[in-house]
């Protein structure tokens, strides 16, 4: 069963670049997928996209993911839409094809099942023609790569119900995205219209010999693109107006709108010569890199930007932080507090390549990360969830100690256990052991002392009765366990 209530299984119509990435995002969130695509190569192509997504998403998100969903390829649109909780269509941008797929799939899907279309510009009113219960169709327009980019535009057609829009928002938010409701049905929606304007200018600059494809991209990626990733256009311009804000900016730069800078009302004729120029410049820009290599580079750059934004809790970084909290809560609730008579086994992770040092071993800092994230799991298990944190209470680490036992290499599967040593209303003392999964060998141990705090007041305070009750329960479970050999060990002390 999926950890997302009411979203156990989805149907996907189309498994290309976008459909395959949708499959990855749903699967990694523990949702089963039924996918229809007539391309006989679809299983291979989708498999490669999922492999990329798994690598990138686990690199992006610090929280542990739920058990991955299962992927089933089916032979018809009807099979894809049977017994599912949501349908996402990602067929090529041909209205007749989309209408046929949506018509066939909607005829068998339950009347409560909402349909999202990944179209980048077709109007939902047109796609609703021929559907059973057309009021449940929305545009759910994502951006590539779907498994990393948080934005999804929700657009309703003439018959779309508010309930369908609300359900789509609920689904997309649950899998870590940032839904944007487009107020009016319009060709190209919002983001693509903005990108189209930039694209038209780029074509003219190449056509007129002003700049090459590489130079145009440099103008964006070293300049305004860095600002756009967190503030967009209008807020950046407001800041440019100084203390007087947007009004001063418009007074100062508004007259330039009448200057003949832009050619947005026209597009250069796409002649064979212009097409060849664009293609050759793009080939030169890419060099010897394959599409898959460029995808990996793109994903890693996106991850770095998103991590940076998460550090300041702003823009897409805020979406990522919220998604990680959701994952912590979901996975934490999947695991019973008392599982057996030993320490809690609450964390698993394969050592990714970026965790390796120059010897191919896991970097020292990553052992602490595993231990710290295991502690995060413990927090969720005893009730320190998003709601508790929102109430201005949390645990802060005041002391920690790590002891290395053996090497872990890139590709090793690790698991961690946690044993509660001591607790009272204000303190929490626990011990973490990190094991290799293949032989249960101990690679490191870590010990933590945490203090419960009132985050608003900035001082220690007693934990809630519910938290204490959970810790009491865990303490009763762990009281018969022997004290770990390295517990309370100081630096330089002989090994046990």
Are residues 220 and 85 part of one domain?
no
CATH of the domain at 386: 3.10.129.10
330: in domain: no
Return the structure tokens found at 389.
């944190």
Are residues 23 and 171 part of one domain?
yes
Are residues 206 and 135 part of one domain?
no
Domain housing 134: 9-181
pLDDT tens string, the chain, 496 residues long: the values are 778 889 999 999 999 999 999 999 999 999 999 999 999 999 999 999 999 999 999 888 877 888 999 999 999 999 999 999 999 999 999 999 999 999 999 999 999 999 999 999 899 999 999 999 999 999 999 999 999 999 999 999 999 999 999 999 999 999 999 999 999 999 999 999 999 999 999 999 999 999 999 999 999 998 899 888 888 888 887 888 888 887 877 777 667 666 666 666 677 787 889 888 888 888 888 888 888 888 988 898 888 899 888 888 888 889 998 898 888 777 655 555 555 568 998 888 888 877 888 888 899 999 999 999 899 889 988 999 888 999 999 999 999 999 999 989 988 889 999 999 999 999 999 999 999 999 999 999 999 999 999 999 999 999 999 999 999 999 998 988 999 988 887 766 666 5
Residues 246 and 237: beta-carbon distance below 8 Å: yes
pLDDT, residue 354, reads 79
CATH of the domain at 167: 3.40.50.720
Are residues 245 and 171 part of one domain?
no
Return the structure tokens found at 248.
């001063």
331: in domain: no
260: in domain: yes
Helix (H) or strand (E) holding 185: none
Residues 114 and 86: beta-carbon distance below 8 Å: yes
pLDDT, residue 256, reads 62
Are residues 305 and 169 part of one domain?
no
Integer Cα distance of 335 and 327 in angstroms: 13
232: in domain: yes
Domain count, the chain: 3
pLDDT, residue 126, reads 97
Residue from 99, 147, 103 nearest 119 by CA: 99
495: in domain: no
Torsion of CA 173, 174, 176, 180, to 10 degrees: -10
449: in domain: yes
Integer Cα distance of 49 and 58 in angstroms: 14
Are residues 125 and 22 part of one domain?
yes
319: in domain: no
Integer Cα distance of 347 and 376 in angstroms: 10
Helix (H) or strand (E) holding 267: none
Residues 213 and 281: beta-carbon distance below 8 Å: yes
Q: Is the pTM of this model over 0.85?
A: no
Are residues 428 and 396 part of one domain?
yes
Residue from 222, 213, 250 nearest 234 by CA: 250
Torsion of CA 358, 362, 367, 368, to 10 degrees: 30
Residue 408, C-beta contacts closer than 8 angstroms, at least 6 positions apart: 351, 361, 362, 367, 414, 434, 436, 443, 444
Residue from 404, 344, 396, 420 nearest 368 by CA: 404
455: in domain: yes
Integer Cα distance of 173 and 325 in angstroms: 12
Are residues 177 and 33 part of one domain?
yes
pLDDT, residue 290, reads 85
Are residues 306 and 340 part of one domain?
no
Residue from 392, 455, 454 nearest 425 by CA: 454
Are residues 341 and 226 part of one domain?
no
pLDDT, residue 445, reads 95
Give backbone dihedrals phi and psi of 57, rounded to 5 degrees, phi first. Answer: -70, -40
SS3 258: helix
Are residues 90 and 69 part of one domain?
yes
Are residues 196 and 161 part of one domain?
no
pLDDT, residue 460, reads 96
Integer Cα distance of 478 and 343 in angstroms: 7
Q: Percent helix, strand and coil across the chain, each rounded to 5? A: 45, 20, 35
């Amino acid at each position: 069963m999926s950890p997302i209530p009411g979203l156990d299984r989805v149907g996907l119509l189309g498994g290309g670049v976008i459909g395959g990435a949708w499959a990855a995002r749903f699967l990694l969130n523990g949702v089963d997928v039924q996918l229809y695509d007539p391309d006989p190569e679809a299983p291979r192509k989708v498999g490669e996209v999922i492999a990329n997504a798994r690598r990138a998403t686990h690199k992006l998100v610090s929280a542990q993911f739920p058990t991955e969903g299962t992927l089933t390829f089916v032979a018809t649109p009807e099979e894809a839409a049977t017994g599912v909780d949501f349908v996402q269509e990602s067929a090529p941008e041909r209205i007749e094809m989309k209408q046929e797929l949506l018509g066939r799939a909607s005829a068998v899907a339950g009347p409560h099942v909402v349909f999202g279309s990944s179209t980048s510009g077709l109007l939902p009113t047109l796609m609703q023609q021929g559907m059973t219960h057309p009021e449940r169709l929305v545009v759910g327009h994502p951006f590539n790569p779907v498994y990393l980019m948080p934005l999804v535009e929700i657009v309703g057609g003439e018959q779309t119900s508010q309930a369908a829009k609300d359900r789509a928002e609920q689904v997309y938010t649950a899998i870590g995205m940032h839904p944007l409701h487009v107020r009016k049905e319009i060709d190209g929606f919002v983001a693509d219209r903005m990108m189209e304007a930039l694209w038209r200018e780029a074509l003219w600059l190449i056509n007129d010999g002003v700049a090459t494809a590489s130079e145009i991209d440099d103008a964006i990626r070293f300049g305004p693109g860095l600002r756009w990733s967190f503030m967009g256009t209008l807020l950046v311009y407001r800041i440019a107006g100084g203390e007087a804000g947007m009004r001063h900016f418009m007074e100062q730069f508004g007259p330039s709108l009448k200057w003949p800078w832009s050619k947005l009302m026209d597009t250069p004729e796409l002649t064979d010569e212009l097409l060849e120029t664009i293609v050759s410049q793009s080939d030169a820009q890419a060099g010897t890199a394959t599409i898959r290599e460029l995808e990996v580079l793109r994903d890693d750059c996106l991850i770095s930007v998103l991590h940076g934004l998460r550090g300041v809790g702003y823009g897409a970084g805020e979406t990522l932080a919220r998604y990680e909290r959701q994952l912590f809560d979901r996975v934490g609730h999947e695991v019973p507090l008392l599982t057996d008579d030993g320490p809690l086994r609450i964390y698993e992770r394969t050592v990714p390549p970026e965790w390796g040092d120059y010897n191919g071993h896991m970097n020292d800092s990553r052992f602490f990360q595993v231990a710290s994230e295991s502690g995060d799991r413990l927090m969720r298990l005893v009730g320190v969830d998003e709601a508790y944190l929102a109430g201005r209470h949390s645990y802060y680490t005041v002391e920690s100690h790590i002891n290395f036992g053996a090497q872990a290499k890139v590709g090793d599967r690790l698991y961690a256990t946690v044993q509660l040593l001591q607790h009272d209303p204000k303190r929490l003392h626990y011990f973490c052991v990190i094991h290799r999964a293949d032989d249960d060998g101990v690679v490191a141990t870590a010990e933590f002392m945490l203090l419960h705090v009132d985050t608003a007041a900035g001082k220690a305070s007693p934990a809630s009765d519910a938290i204490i009750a959970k810790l009491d329960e865990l303490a009763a479970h762990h009281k018969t366990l022997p004290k770990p050999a390295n517990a309370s060990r100081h630096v330089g002390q002989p090994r046990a």
